[in-house]
Amino acid sequence: MGAPVTTLAASTRRAPPARRRRTQAPLPPPAPRPGILRVALLILALGFGATLALAVTATTWSQIRAPGGALTFVGNLTGLAGTYLALVMVLLVSRVPVVERVLGQDGLLRWHRTLAPWPISLIVAHVVFLTIGYAQAAKTGFWREFGVLATTFPDMLPATVGFFMMVAVAVVSIRAIRRRIPRERWWALHLLMYLALGISFAHVIALGPSFVGHPLTRLLWSLFWLATAGLVLAYRIGLPFVRSMRHRLEVVEVREEAPGVVTVVCRGRRLERLAVSGGQFFEWRFLTRGMWWQAHPFSLSALPRPPHLRLTVKVVGDFTARVATLRPGTRIAIEGPYGVFTTQHRDRQKAMLIAGGVGVTAVRSLLEDLPRGCEPVIVLRVSRSEDLVFHKEVTELARQRKGRVHELVGARSEVDLRSLIDLVPDMRQRDVFVAGPELFVHDVCTTLARLGVPRDATHAEVYSL
């Protein structure tokens, strides 16, 4: 009989029912491994000692006793030491994940700023002492010898240009001057340091007495430079590019959360492969006119809910004002996730979260990541009650974890932070997480220290402008 056959044939010709897409469980974020960082630091220290020895073994007493010999030796020593530390500076901001997971982007930047005076001073000393030493040997004046060195010695012209670039970058990065320059311009200038280092490389192995006639030393030094360059290319450019391409984020919706605070909802592919911890942030590059050449850090205000991501931004300047006007469909490139304001950095069972103003974004996503039963206490500190963002979400999340929420509303002069100990009497047995503007975090951390909270129990996320 034809009818059932036809029906069967027709039904097989129909499209099969769509397979139910099994959403994979999100990738757990990798745990921080401080042991690896210690080993890396020890290796770097070993290398530094070896570099100093390279300078010392490249000279002899008779060379030091010769005219200009002592200063030439000091010039060589400071040059090697300064260049080595300059490479360490580059490594600190190369965003290698293993290191970033332990210290955090802001921790690494702090170390970068702390170390900065040393390589630049050593390199300036290198130039000055070598010039004087050579001038003494050639029996000419300082500036005449400087000109001779810069123009007639092999690979010295690019090295001299690189030197002045380094000095310019260093001067511009002094805090008092950095404050007066727009952030984007300062950033572009600072990136020139890569170029300055690159063009200065050749003169070291062409002229340095540790390298001339010592092919093994030349090879090792070159490998160190290549490895550093490789890490920068891989983790500052390569990995963010791969991640942006893999996830293809784009803006879905922009809505106002509170006066001057906007939430941006993004959609992306395969977000379950993005291993993010609550409290972490990305550098966001919105690929639209006027914004594509800047990347700004914003915290996620909730854990990823594939296929959506959420970030919340306070409008404080030009860039953030533009964020509020983003059109749906705008593509986004991301770098990250970065940050150590996470549950993995807890040591104690209980936690306390203190959010100042827009700091509630990091606190809100960190809270979502805290296990139930950790009984978190959340303190929301705002100037006016209209600024209480995510109050409902925070309260609900706290309730699920048997925690509680306190609001501290009022101007800075009205609220005494020492009242925190009355709100949370067992503060000293908790991990305390503080997020917010720089001044707020500074005040709270000072108060916490005075109230007896140990330093390793305090975790801070500073929202800098």
Partner 1 sequence: MRGGRHPLKTSHALLAATSAGFAAVLSVHVATSSGRNTPTTSTAPPPSTPTSFSTATRSATGADEQFGYGSISVNVTVQGTRILAVSVANLQTLESFSQSLSSQAIPQLTSEALSAQSSNIQSVSGASYTSAGFAQSLQSALGQLGI
Residues that bind partner 1 (CB under 8 A): 34, 37-38, 41-43, 45-54, 56-57, 60, 62-63, 65-67, 69, 102-103, 107, 111, 134, 137-138, 148, 152-154, 206-207, 209, 212-213, 456
Q: How far is the C-alpha of 204 from the C-alpha of 159, rounded, in Å?
A: 9
Amino acid in the structure at residue 19 = R
- For partner 1, the closer of residues 271 and 434 by Cβ is 434
* Residue 365 Cβ vs partner 1, minimum distance, rounded to whole Å: 22
* Residue 141 Cβ vs partner 1, minimum distance, rounded to whole Å: 15
Residue with tokens 């030091």: 64
Task: Describe the chain by its helix, strand, coil percentages, rounded to 5.
Answer: 55, 15, 30
- For partner 1, the closer of residues 17 and 213 by Cβ is 213
- For partner 1, the closer of residues 91 and 251 by Cβ is 91
Q: How far is the C-alpha of 338 from the C-alpha of 334, rounded, in Å?
A: 11
- For partner 1, the closer of residues 54 and 388 by Cβ is 54
* Residue 392 Cβ vs partner 1, minimum distance, rounded to whole Å: 35
* Residue 62 Cβ vs partner 1, minimum distance, rounded to whole Å: 4
* Residue 66 Cβ vs partner 1, minimum distance, rounded to whole Å: 3
- For partner 1, the closer of residues 150 and 172 by Cβ is 150
Phi/psi region, residue 149 (left: phi>0; alpha: psi -120 to 50; beta: rest), is alpha
The distance in angstroms from the start CA to the end CA of the chain is 79
Q: How far is the C-alpha of 450 from the C-alpha of 452, rounded, in Å?
A: 5
- For partner 1, the closer of residues 77 and 388 by Cβ is 77
Tokens of 177: 């001057």
Alpha helices in 173-303 (DSSP H): 175-178, 183-207, 215-232, 239-247
* Residue 58 Cβ vs partner 1, minimum distance, rounded to whole Å: 9
Q: Coil, strand or helix: which one is 143?
A: helix
Q: How far is the C-alpha of 198 from the C-alpha of 195, rounded, in Å?
A: 5
Half-sphere exposure of 340 (CA within 13 A, CB side): 23
* Residue 442 Cβ vs partner 1, minimum distance, rounded to whole Å: 20
Give the list of residues 6+ apart from residue 319 with CB closer than 8 angstroms, or none: 291, 294, 296
Q: How far is the C-alpha of 308 from the C-alpha of 296, rounded, in Å?
A: 20
- For partner 1, the closer of residues 130 and 382 by Cβ is 130
- For partner 1, the closer of residues 47 and 260 by Cβ is 47
Tokens of 127: 């130039």
Phi, psi of 383 (to 5 degrees): -80, -40
* Residue 89 Cβ vs partner 1, minimum distance, rounded to whole Å: 16
Give the list of residues 6+ apart from residue 150 with CB closer than 8 angstroms, or none: 156, 157, 160
- For partner 1, the closer of residues 314 and 346 by Cβ is 346
- For partner 1, the closer of residues 106 and 368 by Cβ is 106
Q: How far is the C-alpha of 322 from the C-alpha of 124, rounded, in Å?
A: 42
CA–CA–CA angle 47, 52, 53 (5° rounding): 95
* Residue 220 Cβ vs partner 1, minimum distance, rounded to whole Å: 10
The whole-angstrom distance between residue 360's C-alpha and the CA centroid of its chain comes to 20
Q: How far is the C-alpha of 248 from the C-alpha of 309, rounded, in Å?
A: 12
* Residue 48 Cβ vs partner 1, minimum distance, rounded to whole Å: 5
